[in-house]
Amino acid sequence: MKNTKIDNTLNQVSYSKTLFSKVFIFIIYRIPNMINSLISYMGGKFKMRKELQEVFQILSQKNTYTTFIDGFFGMGGSLKALSDALLKHGVKKIIVNDINPCIINMHKCIRNNRDEMVNYFLETIRKDVVIPHGKLHISVEDFIEFKKILVQRFYTLQDKREYGVETSTLFIMLSAFNFSGVVTFKKDGIINFSNAIYDHKDINDLLFNTIKRIDTFSELYNKFDMEFYNTDYFQLHHRFKGLKNTLWNIDTV
Ligand SMILES: C[S@@+](CC[C@H](N)C(=O)[O-])C[C@H]1O[C@@H](n2cnc3c(N)ncnc32)[C@H](O)[C@@H]1O
C-alpha cells in the first residue's frame, strides 16, 4: 500500500479508536518481516544464536534441564536465541533478572499486558500523530517534535519510578531510534534518550514494528512459566543457587 493511501485511510478512521486500531493492525501485518530482537542494541546476544545453540546442544546431552535462569536479561536476546531448543528439551520455567527496573518491568508487561501496551501505542499514534497532522507519514521536523513529547512523557514516569504499561511501551517506541550512544543505561537504572532523530528510516521502525515486537515477544514469553526479578545478580544467585536441573545464562555487561 502506498504511503498516501495509508495516510488517507488512517485519517478517515482516526475519529474511532476501534476502527483505527483494526485498520492500523491490518496494514502493519500486510508487511511481512521477521522480528528477532525487542530492541536492537550492542550487547544483544541474538546474533550469537548459532554459538549459543551449539553450547546448549552439548550441555543438554548430559544434563536434563527444567529451568533456565538468565541473570542479566537485558533485551532477552539470549532467551530468544535459545527458545526453540529450550522448548524442545522440555524447559518450562524461565527465571529472568535485570538490575534495571525499567528493563525488567518492560518484559513483565510484554508477557502479561500485551493488549494494554498495544492499545497505548495505537492511541499515542492516533491522538499525537494522525489526528493533529491528518496523516501518519509526517515530516521529519514534526517527528522530532513528536519524539520530544515521548521523551518528556518517559522522563516524567521514570522520575516517579512508575514502570508500568506506559513506561514500557514508550521505552520500546523510543528505542526504535536507537544506536550506540543514543540510549544510555546508567548504573542507577536511569535511562536517557536524546531528542534527535538520526536516521529517518527509524520512523518506519517505530510505526510499523512496535506492535510486532510486542506480539513476537509476548507470544514467546507465554510459552513458558516466567518469573521476573529486579535485583543485583549476586542476590539472585544466592536465592537460586541450590535449584536442581537449572541452566544459568550469565551475560554480564
Ligand atoms: C549484556 S546485557 C545482557 C544482554 C542479553 N543477554 C541480551 O541478549 O539481550 C547486560 C544486562 O545486565 C544488566 N546488569 C548490569 N549489572 C547487573 C547486575 N549487577 N545484576 C543484574 N543485572 C545487571 C544491565 O542492565 C543489562 O541489561
**Residue 229 CB less than 6 A away from ligand 1:** no
Per-residue pLDDT reduced to its tens digit, 180-226 = 445 666 667 788 888 888 887 788 889 999 999 999 999 999 999 99
C-alpha of residue 167 to centroid of ligand 1, in Å: 19
Please list, in sequence order, all residues whose beta carbon lies within 8 angstroms of the beta carbon of residue 50, skipping any fewer than 6 positions away: none
pLDDT score recorded for residue 185: 67
Using only C-alpha atoms, the chain has a radius of gyration, in whole angstroms, of: 19
Looking at the CA of residue 45, tell me the nearest atom of ligand 1.
8
Rounded Cα distance between 160 and 48, Å, is: 36
Query: For residue 56, what is its C-alpha cell?
Result: 546448549
Mean pLDDT, the chain, whole residue set: 93
Per-residue pLDDT reduced to its tens digit, 96-128 = 999 999 999 999 999 999 999 999 999 999 999
**Residue 251 CB less than 6 A away from ligand 1:** yes
Per-residue pLDDT reduced to its tens digit, 48-58 = 999 999 999 99
pLDDT score recorded for residue 189: 76
pLDDT score recorded for residue 181: 46
To test ligand 1's pocket by mutation, which of 99, 192, 213 has the most ligand atoms within 8 angstroms of CB? Answer: 99
pTM exceeding the 0.75 threshold for the entire prediction? yes
Looking at the CA of residue 70, tell me the nearest atom of ligand 1.
6
Q: Minimal CA–CA distance to 125: which of 219, 7, 213?
A: 7
Query: For residue 225, what is its C-alpha cell?
Result: 512459566
